[in-house]
Amino acid sequence: MRISKPHLRSISIQSYLCLLLNSHFLTEAGIHVFILGCFSAALPKTEAIWVDVISDLRRIQDLIQSIHIDATLYTESDIHPRCKVTAMKCFLLELQVISLESNNTNINDTIENLLILANRSLSSNGTITESGCKECEELEEKNIKEFLQSFVHIVQMFIYTS
């Protein structure tokens, strides 16, 4: 099964648009549109990225139905909005445990894509430091299904506050 890589798709579409504009609109206005289009290709589209992260999480949820992963993962189930970046970093670290435990190519590829997308969006938040938040090891350990449900919840927090 072929895995979609939305982290690559958005940049390539915008690049083709830039080339199209450059070749057909060599007027001054066309050049301005071309330059703005090229700048927009580099700007983060965080809401769209988080929607793709949720899509990957749903895919992982479906894929783990067919295999048995007996892992407990540090899970933040009561995320305070001021600690969402810290919590997200913990979720991303724990997601790598699923990748190691599963030994499944489809899950591993989906996790790799998700990590790229999420880390790209997190980097757009700069170097935010959140104080008073729990460290990963202080979180309660939960099974993989509860972990993924909480993960979806935190991603939704990023969508609705961006």
**Residue 104 is part of a domain; what is its CATH number?**
1.20.1250.70
**Across-strand partners of 75?**
140
- Tokens read off for 157: 């927090």
Q: Is 105 left (phi over 0), alpha (psi -120 to 50) or beta?
A: alpha
Same domain (yes/no): 28, 83? no
At 104-160, the pLDDT tens digits run 899 999 999 999 999 988 876 656 678 889 999 999 999 999 999 999 999 999 888
| Burial annotation 7-34 (CB, 10 A radius, 16+ → b, else e) | beeeeeebeebbeebbeeeeeeeeeebb
Residue with tokens 């988080």: 50
Identify whether 5 is part of a domain. Answer: no
Burial, 127: exposed, middle or buried (Cβ in 10 Å; 0-12, 13-18, 19+)?
A: exposed
How many of the other CB atoms lie within 10 Å of CB of 161? 8
Identify whether 147 is part of a domain. Answer: yes
At 34-68, the pLDDT tens digits run 565 655 555 445 566 899 999 999 999 999 888 88
Of 139, 161, 162, 158, nearest in space to 57 by CA: 158
Structural domains in the chain (count)? 2
**The model scores a pTM over 0.95:** no
At 136-152, the pLDDT tens digits run 999 999 999 999 999 99
Q: Report residue 76: phi and psi, to 5°.
A: -95, 110
Domain that holds residue 106: 49-161
Type and span of the H or E element at 66 = none
Same domain (yes/no): 25, 55? no
